[in-house]
Each structure stands twice: as structure tokens, then as C-alpha cells.
Structure 1
Amino acid sequence: MIRAKKKFGQNFLTDESIKRQIIQAIPNDLERIVEIGPGLGDLTQKLVQLSGKIECFEIDSELYEILLDKFASEILEQKLKITNADALESWDEIARQDYFLVANLPYYVATNIILKALSDSRCNGLVVMIQKEVALKFSAQPGDSEFSALAILAGVRGDAELLFDVPATAFNPEPKVVSAVIRIIKNRDLLQGFEALEFERFLKSAFSSPRKTLLKNLSISIPKSLIEGFLTKENLSLTIRPHELCVALYLKLFKEAKNERRECTNSR
């Protein structure tokens, strides 16, 4: 019996009903599914029954050998490909063609992988299991206390849904937190014409102190008069909090701040 390794944040999903719900959440007729962290291959076994080609990336060499043996016939039939690698270090291989991402993500790396998939034009969407606290940050709506930069980065590229919670008892060993499955279908790109990294820095400033006003947070990097003018024009309170502004208005404010900066630079 293989033991879960703490250094890889491993918790093996054992609940059959949860596995079925994850499979049911995945769109039909996908040509290519990428699974990150297949573990003992329990979910993989269900994925290979779907149409299309499955590619798995497993960082644990011991698990990799177990998977090669377990899925020898599927690999031989070219229904399944398994790579022993860190997914974040192998993203060029993942992104060589369009794909849909499926994963039970370790908590320590979940946010980075989701953000990587969101920014990857080859990724059509994802169904992933993550810590519920993080799932809420990605799926929250404007006005929710959990609404954050992560929800905006998801919202500019698609629709994020928290599908269901997963109790600790669904895993072996049991984690100390509640998990949740989220689905993001990427059906738009509102960042076209914007510099993505610059927008991320802007959001980081906006949410730097969530309990403070948006005006106070952003005035460190953007002229206070510009923010006040924007909020007044949009009939918004000058004391509005970061979680109360919607995705469209964040994009609009970012665009106006960017134009203002460009005009200031050109006038020098």
C-alpha cells in the first residue's frame, strides 16, 4: 500500500460518488483532457472511458511507475499518455494543443496552476478540486465578501462555478480542510488589448487591504483625483470596498488609468 507523501500535498480521493460527480461536470466530446496529479489513477480510470485523448502529468516517480503498470493497455492503445514531471515546469508540453484541464490539486500549488490555465489560450476550461477557501475566491460574485482578484481573473475569461463541497472523509489520508470542485468554462477574453501582467498588478493594489476603501488602496499607484472622478462618474460611493466593484468596472478603471499614464508620459 503506497503512502501519501506530504511534500507533494497528496490526499487520495476514495469516494466513488465524488468521482462520478467530477466526471459528470466535464463537458462532453472533448478531444484532449489533461489531468494534473492523477495519483493512484482512480479518476483517470473514469476519464479514459470518455471520448478523446487523456494525458496525465504526475510529479511522483513512485506513483508514475504504478500508473504505467495499471494503465499498460490504455497506453499501448494510445488512449492515455502519462508523463513523470512537474506540470508547472512542463507547461509547454501541456499547451502544445487545445485541452481541458481536470485535477485534484494539492493546496500549495492550486492557485498557481489555475491562474496558469486561465492565462493559457490553449486551455478551454477546467474542472478542479481545491481547498474550499480558494474555490470561493475564484467563484465569488461582486458584493460577496470573498470576491477577490482571483474572481476577476477568472471572470475576464469565463464563467466560474463552485459545483459542490467535498468533505475530508472523501480522502485518504483525510485533509484538515474542506475541499470543493469548481468549473470554469473559458468562453471570452475581456483582456484582449490589455497587458495581462499589468492588470494583475493593478488588481493586487486594489485588493492589497480588502477592508480599506478601493480609493485608499489604489491611490498608492494611481492619482487619487482620477479614481475619485471615475467613482463619481459611475455614481459609486468614494468609500466603496474592493469587493463591491464588478469585473467590467475594474477593466474600465484600469483602461482609464492606463490612458492617463500614457498621456502624462507623452506630455513630458
Structure 2
Amino acid sequence: MNKNSVVAKKKFGQNFLKDEIVLRKIVEAMPKNDNKIVEIGPGLGDLTKYLVDVKSVEAFEVDTDLCKLLQSTFKKEIDTKRLHINCGDVLNAWQSSLIDEPYDLVANLPYYIATNIILKALADPMCKNILVMVQLEVAEKFCAQEGQKVFGSLSVITQSVAEAHIVVQVPPTAFEPPPKINSAVFLIQKTKDRSNEDFEGMLRVAFKQPRKTLMKNLSVVYEKEKIQEALNELEYTLTIRPHQISTHDYHQLYKKIK
């Protein structure tokens, strides 16, 4: 099997990033440190070939055909321990931490599991930075600021433990085959680990129906009086919408109503 004969498999959400300018921008955006790189879904190795030039890489590929191709393409890098390829589903390999040393996740993620992977990386104590390509609308949710319409639970979870910003937007033409949506590379630089499941449970309730008031959403689960009292103390009106409250104030709200 050679690179040119590979056909993207829909079941693995494969869209191979081919644009050299975007590939270089990803490498340039990588934080400068001594952390290992974890790449999830290396595909044909188009990004991998740049990553192994910079650091040693731990790659996870679910497609057994692509595993064989990568093992043959990167034989030299595997022999010199610059690259190690794990064949199989990364989510099965991921217990509390994916590898036992500090790492940065750098990847063109399969879109159907991208959100799940990013949330796992945010919770993984060994993961220090996340630089990934995802659907544009997913990137916007992770990077949104209070007051923006797309500001939601993913934005609050991210801001609670990290700083995030979009590095570059990427058109469908950068991929083979081209997806039907726009994409974006974004960077999350962690300052601590995601851990409070109860807090995230409250966020799910708060943002369940974003067009309704926060009061209405929360009162499905929490005591009305406590919510009213908390919103008054934080100097918010009772008609405030979920996207209009800051991450800091969501934490204050949680302490008051839990």
C-alpha cells in the first residue's frame, strides 16, 4: 500500500490535511517547551513528518491499514525512537492519563470524537497544551468569550483551567477529501486540570436551553430561592441569559446554589 492509493474511510471521519502552509502554521504555533508530542489520528503522516523534526512523537491511529503505512513510511524515525505508533482506539488506551510524562496534544483530530478528546486532554494531568484542528464551530465554542452567542459550557470549562484562542481558520480545500464545513486550528494552554464534575453538571443544566433565561434553566434542578439570592448577590437580573455570565461568576454561582 502506498500513500496515493489510500481512500479516506467515512467511519473514522478521515479528511487528510494536505495544505503545507497550514501544516507549517500548526508547527509554528506549538508552545516552546520540552514536552513530548502526542498526535491522535496521524492518518497519512502529513503532519507527523513535521512533528518528528521538532520532537519525539507518540502517535495513536485507529485504522490498521494506516498503521501499516505509517510504520513503513516512518521506519527510520521508529527505529531511532523519534516516533512510536500505537495502533488502536485512543479512547480505550486513555485511562486517567494517556502517557506517563508531560505532553502536548498536537493533531488534526477526527471530527466525530474531537470534543470528547479535547475534554479528556483537559482532564489529563500530563497534558499541558492542546493544539488541534477541529470544525470551526467547535473551535469557536471552546474559545468563546462571555457575551458571545456561542459562549457555553465548553467555553466555561476551558476558561476555568486554561487560556484558548484560534490560531488559523482553514477552508475545506486544504483537505483531501474536502469536508463540507470550515475548520480551525486552536490552542489551549492549561494552567490547571479539569476536575469538578458537579460544577460541569451545573453548567449542562445552565446551558441546556440557551435561549431561555439562566433562572429558568437552573430552576429545573436547583431551588428557585437559592438561585434568585445568588443572582442578586452577583448583581445580575433574573432575566439574564446563560451566555451573559462570566466564567468567574459561574464558579461563584455554583458555590452558592450547590
Question: Normalised by the shorter chain, which TM-score bucket?
Answer: over 0.9
CA distance in 1, matches of 2:99, 2:197: 19
Cα root mean square deviation, aligned = 1.2
Please list every run of 5 or more consecutive structure 1 residues that lacks an aligned counterpart in the other structure.
259-268
CA distance in 2, matches of 1:236, 1:83: 50
Q: Residue 30 of structure 1: CA displacement?
A: 2.9
1:30 and 1:100 in contact (8 A); partners too: no
Determine the structure 1 residue equivalent to 2:78.
75
Q: TM-score, normalised by structure 2?
A: 0.95
Determine the structure 2 residue equivalent to 1:264.
none
Determine the structure 1 residue equivalent to 2:179.
175
Aligned residues: 253
Determine the structure 1 residue equivalent to 2:62.
59
- 2:97 is the counterpart of 1:86: no
Q: Residue 164 of structure 1: CA displacement?
A: 1.3
Q: TM-score, normalised by structure 1?
A: 0.92
Q: Which amino acid aligns with 1:49?
A: D
Q: Residue 200 of structure 1: CA displacement?
A: 1.4
For residues 5-24 of structure 1, what are the structure 2 equivalents within 5 Å? 5-24=9-28
- 2:130 is the counterpart of 1:126: yes
For residues 121-200 of structure 1, what are the structure 2 equivalents within 5 Å? 121-189=125-193, 196-200=196-200
Q: Residue 85 of structure 1: CA displacement?
A: 1.2
Q: Tell me which stretches of 4 or more aligned residues in structure 1 moved more than 6 Å.
A: none
2:230 and 2:257 in contact (8 A); partners too: no
CA distance in 2, matches of 1:220, 1:12: 44
Q: Residue 255 of structure 1: CA displacement?
A: 1.3
Q: Residue 8 of structure 1: CA displacement?
A: 0.2
Q: Which amino acid aligns with 1:118?
A: L
Determine the structure 1 residue equivalent to 2:48.
44
CA distance in 2, matches of 1:117, 1:165: 22
- Alignment deviations for residues 150-184 of structure 1 (CA, whole Å, 9 cap, x no partner): 00111111001111110000000000000001100
CA distance in 2, matches of 1:129, 1:100: 14
Q: Residue 224 of structure 1: CA displacement?
A: 0.9
Determine the structure 1 residue equivalent to 2:239.
239
2:31 and 2:129 in contact (8 A); partners too: no
Determine the structure 2 residue equivalent to 1:262.
none
CA distance in 1, matches of 2:230, 2:143: 26
Q: Secondary structure at the match of 2:47?
A: helix
Q: Residue 105 of structure 1: CA displacement?
A: 1.1
Determine the structure 2 residue equivalent to 1:213.
213
CA distance in 2, matches of 1:248, 1:159: 14
Q: Residue 96 of structure 1: CA displacement?
A: 2.2
1:165 and 1:181 in contact (8 A); partners too: yes
1:110 and 1:130 in contact (8 A); partners too: yes
Q: Residue 31 of structure 1: CA displacement?
A: 2.7
Q: Which amino acid aligns with 2:27?
A: I
